[in-house]
Structure 1
């Protein structure tokens, strides 16, 4: 059978489509049929065995993390990212912890592993008050104060922006005072050392917190706090000056109850003429609207806070 004839048959197969594929292929010699079959793409639902080492069930059975067994007596060769950063598995980190046998002591915060051996005597050693942080990423515990296995985890889902900022303070503390060892292959870093989706989510939260802090500072400058004074004879009062609320300015303002956007709680703020009609401010009861001070009674304040008025 000539090659032009075979080429014509193949072109017909392409044009006619899958419906007549089997019938047309029957016209071909067996050798050609075998070639077609061997070079056909595999079905999309066919599973391909993974060549990567599976996760160890020694200490951390979570299948989403690369975590091969680690023998402290015969440590495997260290692994590094392409940029040269040391990469550490959960089992290796555990071997350098409170239940492990290797020194120096290590701990992790948001996936960053630190050598805390220099603080072993007072803080991280067997008799130290922070020994339970070693050998794991207990990021959540730094914020919640839950120093048990359920609380000393790397999952920070649900923490407020303020708490995320506090956690970042711990990361900066360890970066400054202790030695950075490498990145933990777990929630925040992949096997190759690249950031995970959770790491990017954490970074977005830090960015959102910075924006919130900037907006809060802006509002504090626009609505500076009041001064307050209380005596047994005269009772209490709130008043405004050019330096009240710790903000030096060239205007005084009038005492008002200021409600931050989205909040039912309020604080006393000194408000300029331009902002007196803002939906975020309310007058103190029985206070002269153009006075720079207002008399207040504790019972009155308590009632206002209870009612949110």
Structure 2
């Protein structure tokens, strides 16, 4: 079982798991036609060696024919340890020892689960899906186990968090920053700062996030309505997001300056 802590987290995963199940029922993860079910011992025969019936690997219980990438997975190749088994954990940890080439993904973080999701997307796009492995992630009838449902729930929650983080970054792009022993530090905003292209520049502000030890510098829009302004909201003050409660000014920096310098 996945080692997850906190009642709130479990409730969140339960909701996400329900969404995953609903998605399955709606056909978003519809059944594959003509896929095989493998037991691990059978899959182990598919290592691409002389006399082997093929070259397969599995990820989160899904089996892919990687024969077209033989030079990466055949015996003695760099990733040969992945062939003929489900080594999901090693895709994240990089541990290619026998102890690390396992399908146990318990204890992995949300971001690590998203890494597995990225790898899964890679294999879906580049290789042929051929079946499922009976065991940790799929039952003998080919249906998902509770552990796979937990993994998919974590991936769903991680994708939602990434989406929210991207939305937040569009609202409060990170500042440009530099430091030198001669001039001290400088923070400034531009129309490309933080990798966010926009039609406004903004001014540096401290953004305080719940749980963060220190605030970080973001660029804040100074004109127009607040980002969360609704049509039926009271008239705005044409100050953009400057009045957001999680923001603070930098001491010694003019409130509307696009550059803040802090000499040594």
1:85 aligns with 2:35: yes
Structure 1 vs Structure 2 CA RMSD: 2.8
- Greater Rg by CA: 1
Partner of 2:162: 213
Give matches, 1:77-116, under 5 Å.
84-97=34-47, 102-116=52-66
Q: Contact between 2:49 and 2:74, CA under 8 Å: does it hold in 1?
A: no
**CA 1:84/1:248 → structure 2, altered by over 3 Å: closer, same or farther?**
closer
**3-state SS in 1 of match to 2:216:** strand
Structure 1 residue 127 displacement after superposition: 1.8
**3-state SS in 2 of match to 1:183:** strand
Structure 1 residue 265 displacement after superposition: 4.6
Structure 1 residue 231 displacement after superposition: 7.1
Once residues 32 and 206 of structure 2 are traced to their aligned partners in structure 1, the CA distance between those partners, rounded to angstroms, is 57
Match of 1:288 among 235, 242, 254: 254
Structure 1 residue 200 displacement after superposition: 1.3
Once residues 195 and 206 of structure 1 are traced to their aligned partners in structure 2, the CA distance between those partners, rounded to angstroms, is 15
Structure 1 residue 253 displacement after superposition: 2.5
Structure 1 residue 263 displacement after superposition: 2.4
**3-state SS in 1 of match to 2:153:** helix
Match of 1:162 among 107, 111, 130: 111
Partner of 1:119: 69
Structure with the larger helix share: 1
Partner of 1:71: none
- Unmatched 5+ residue regions in structure 2? 1-30, 222-238
1:144 aligns with 2:89: no
User: Deviations 1:77-100 (Å, cap 9, x if unpaired)?
Assistant: xxxx99642111111011223899
Structure 1 residue 223 displacement after superposition: 0.4
* RCO higher in structure (CA 8 A, sep ≥6): 2
Report the TM-score, using the length of structure 1 for normalisation. 0.62
**CA 1:126/1:251 → structure 2, altered by over 3 Å: closer, same or farther?**
closer
1:270 aligns with 2:202: no
Q: Contact between 1:100 and 1:135, CA under 8 Å: does it hold in 2?
A: no
Between 271-280 and 131-140, report the one with greater CA deviation: 271-280
**3-state SS in 2 of match to 1:264:** coil
Structure 1 residue 230 displacement after superposition: 6.0
Q: Contact between 1:261 and 1:280, CA under 8 Å: does it hold in 2?
A: no
Report the TM-score, using the length of structure 2 for normalisation. 0.72
Once residues 131 and 163 of structure 1 are traced to their aligned partners in structure 2, the CA distance between those partners, rounded to angstroms, is 22
Once residues 128 and 39 of structure 2 are traced to their aligned partners in structure 1, the CA distance between those partners, rounded to angstroms, is 18
Structure 1 residue 190 displacement after superposition: 0.5
Between 199-208 and 135-144, report the one with greater CA deviation: 199-208
Count of matched residue positions in the alignment of Structure 1 and Structure 2? 217
